């Protein structure tokens, strides 16, 4: 049987524990992709497994217009953990849905249409989020897309300020560009975006779908810059692999967000997984571990392979290794020869997004595998 959309790899995964995945014949793979960062606690973490099993036996699903204690707990946790005075929470099923909601909320709250997004940016594959995504290969077959989008160079504060005017509803930024090649925002750039939005009365939206939940060494990557957006979107690792996204808003956005909804908003089972994930992240201080292990990997990669690659960059455990030859060929060698799984970020970047629980021994295992192909 072949997939309709996804091209399947010749590795059949049957189970996972911590940072390891296992095939049907028992072969062990060190997972430094975490399926695009959806496993911050590693695979099948006991706290998440227990929470999900308990919840599914009590209540599998009820629509979000009926309050449940488990969903209310998720709202409260996210409001508490969000930066600054962001305390309004809308739940959905994925990152692209969270960005679609953010786009709608910003347009409704401001009464404006224009969205400023960045070159190399990636915000999802549904039609609204796709319109804010830069790369043509994702967009071309599905045009026409939503209008009113203007793209600027990522990191150019002056160009951004020029683009944001009294017709702008929102600016969408990733604090670290993920799909675009692992590019952290330059110093001062996020603050410049905040200033431009304040001057124009536009909403500042930080897409923290990949960077959030401790990935970059703090709970939210934007905290490094000390900048609070009007809307923050998150997904991927928030529920340890169960489908959950969230759009977090300030009061002024929430009070005039328009008519929006979702059948599966905040299902009890996924909320139980999210609550266990967030509790474990905080209790075990996994963002700090991401910071330590990210620094460890980065320093060793630069020392041992600085002449073999163009650059090693990123924050925490969101790292990109820009290579001199095709990344996909190296990823195939890593998987089939070294039993090591990573991801691409464009044609020339190896992307590392391991579980935030990895230790020095597993980091050394990763460095050994990378050394064989770099």
Is 247 labeled as ligand-binding? no
Instruction: Taking residues 256-282, report their average pLDDT.
Output: 96
Residue 313 lies in a domain: yes
Task: Give me the pLDDT at residue 218, please.
Answer: 97
Task: Give me the pLDDT at residue 10, please.
Answer: 86
Distance, in Å, from the CA atom of 366 to the CA atom of 253, rounded to the nearest integer, reads 43
Q: What is the CATH number of the domain that holds 144?
A: 3.40.640.10
Is 279 labeled as ligand-binding? no
Co-location of 294 and 263 in the same domain: no
**For residue 4, is pLDDT > 90?**
no
Residue 179 lies in a domain: yes
Co-location of 267 and 296 in the same domain: no
Is 329 labeled as ligand-binding? no
Is 122 labeled as ligand-binding? yes
Kindly list the distances between the CA atom of residue 60 and the CA atoms of 55, 56, 76, 272, in Å, as whole numbers in the listed order. 7, 5, 20, 10
Instruction: Taking residues 82-95, report their average pLDDT.
Output: 96
List the catalytic residue out of 88, 207, 230, 340: 207
Tokens of 365: 């295992």
Is 95 labeled as ligand-binding? yes
With 0-12 CB in 10 A as exposed, 13-18 as middle and 19+ as buried, what is 40?
A: buried
- Residue range 327-365, pLDDT digits in tens: 999 999 999 999 999 999 999 999 999 999 999 999 999
Co-location of 279 and 345 in the same domain: no
Task: Give me the pLDDT at residue 362, please.
Answer: 98
Is 298 labeled as ligand-binding? no
- The strand pairing partners of 205, in sequence order, are 172, 231
Residue 39 lies in a domain: yes
Chain position carrying tokens 């996972």: 16
Instruction: Taking residues 229-236, report their average pLDDT.
Output: 98
List the catalytic residue out of 88, 114, 236, 250: 236
Q: pTM of the predicted model, to two decimals?
A: 0.96
Q: How many domains does the chain have?
A: 2
**Residue 8 — very low, low, confident or very high, per pLDDT cuts 50/70/90?**
confident
Residue 8 lies in a domain: no
* CA distance between the termini of the chain: 34
Residue 1 lies in a domain: no
Distance, in Å, from the CA atom of 44 to the CA atom of 256, rounded to the nearest integer, reads 40
Q: What is the CATH number of the domain that holds 297?
A: 3.90.1150.10
**Residue 2 — very low, low, confident or very high, per pLDDT cuts 50/70/90?**
low
Co-location of 227 and 261 in the same domain: yes
List the catalytic residue out of 122, 172, 206, 340: 122
Is 207 labeled as ligand-binding? yes
Is 256 labeled as ligand-binding? no
Residue 319 lies in a domain: yes
H or E stretch covering 97: helix 95-110
- What residue numbers bound the domain in which 34 lies? 13-44+285-373
Q: Which of 283, 305, 335 is the last residue of a domain?
A: 283
Concerning whether 153 is annotated as a catalytic residue, the answer is no
**For residue 1, is pLDDT > 60?**
no
Chain position carrying tokens 């804010």: 132
Task: Give me the pLDDT at residue 6, please.
Answer: 73
Co-location of 51 and 40 in the same domain: no
The share of the chain scoring above pLDDT 70, in percent, equals: 99
Instruction: Taking residues 117-124, report their average pLDDT.
Output: 98
Task: Give me the pLDDT at residue 366, please.
Answer: 98
Instruction: Taking residues 210-230, report their average pLDDT.
Output: 97
Residue 3 lies in a domain: no
Residue 2 lies in a domain: no
Distance, in Å, from the CA atom of 303 to the CA atom of 189, rounded to the nearest integer, reads 29
Task: Give me the pLDDT at residue 214, please.
Answer: 98
Is 206 labeled as ligand-binding? no
Instruction: Taking residues 44-67, report their average pLDDT.
Output: 97
Co-location of 102 and 154 in the same domain: yes
Co-location of 206 and 329 in the same domain: no
Distance, in Å, from the CA atom of 311 to the CA atom of 301, rounded to the nearest integer, reads 10
Of 86 and 7, the structure prediction assigns the larger pLDDT to 86
Concerning whether 31 is annotated as a catalytic residue, the answer is no
Question: What is the phi/psi pair of residue 210, to 5°?
Answer: -100, -30
Concerning whether 195 is annotated as a catalytic residue, the answer is no
Is 17 labeled as ligand-binding? no
Mean pLDDT rounded to a whole number for the chain: 96
Chain position carrying tokens 């604090």: 175
- Residue range 296-316, pLDDT digits in tens: 999 999 999 989 999 999 999
């Amino acid at each position: 049987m072949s997939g309709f959309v996804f091209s399947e790899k010749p590795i059949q995964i049957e189970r996972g524990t911590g940072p390891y995945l296992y095939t049907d014949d028992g072969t062990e793979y060190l997972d430094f992709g975490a399926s695009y960062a959806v496993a911050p606690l590693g695979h099948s973490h006991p706290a998440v497994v227990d929470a999900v099993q308990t919840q599914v036996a009590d209540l599998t699903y009820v629509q979000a217009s009926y309050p449940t204690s488990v969903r209310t707990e998720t709202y409260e946790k996210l409001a508490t953990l969000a930066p600054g005075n962001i305390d309004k929470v809308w739940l959905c099923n994925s990152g692209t849905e969270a960005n679609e909601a953010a786009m709608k909320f910003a347009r409704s709250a401001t009464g404006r249409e224009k969205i400023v997004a960045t070159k190399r940016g990636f915000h999802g594959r549904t039609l609204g989020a796709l319109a804010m995504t830069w790369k043509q290969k994702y967009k071309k077959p599905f045009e026409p897309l939503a209008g009113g989008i203007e793209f600027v160079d990522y990191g150019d504060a002056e160009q951004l300020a020029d683009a944001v005017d009294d017709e702008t509803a929102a600016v969408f930024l990733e604090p670290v560009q993920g799909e675009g090649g692992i590019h952290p925002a330059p110093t001062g750039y996020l603050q410049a975006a905040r200033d431009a939005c304040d001057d124009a009365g536009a909403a500042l939206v930080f897409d923290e779908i990949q960077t959030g939940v401790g990935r970059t060494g703090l709970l939210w990557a934007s905290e490094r810059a000390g900048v609070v957006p009007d809307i923050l979107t998150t997904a991927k690792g928030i529920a340890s692999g169960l489908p959950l996204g969230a759009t977090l808003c300030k009061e002024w956005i929430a009070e005039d967000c328009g008519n929006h909804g979702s059948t599966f908003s905040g299902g009890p089972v996924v909320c139980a997984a999210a609550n266990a994930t967030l509790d474990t992240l905080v209790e075990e201080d996994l963002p700090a571990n991401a910071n330590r292990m990210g620094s460890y990997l980065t320093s060793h990669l630069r020392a041992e392979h600085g002449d073999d690659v163009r650059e090693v960059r990123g924050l925490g455990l969101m790292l990109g290794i820009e290579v001199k030859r095709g990344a996909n060929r190296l990823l195939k060698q890593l998987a089939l020869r070294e039993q090591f799984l990573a991801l691409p970020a464009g044609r020339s970047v190896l992307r590392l997004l391991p579980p935030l629980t990895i230790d020095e021994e597993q980091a050394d295992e990763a460095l050994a595998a990378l050394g064989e192909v770099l």
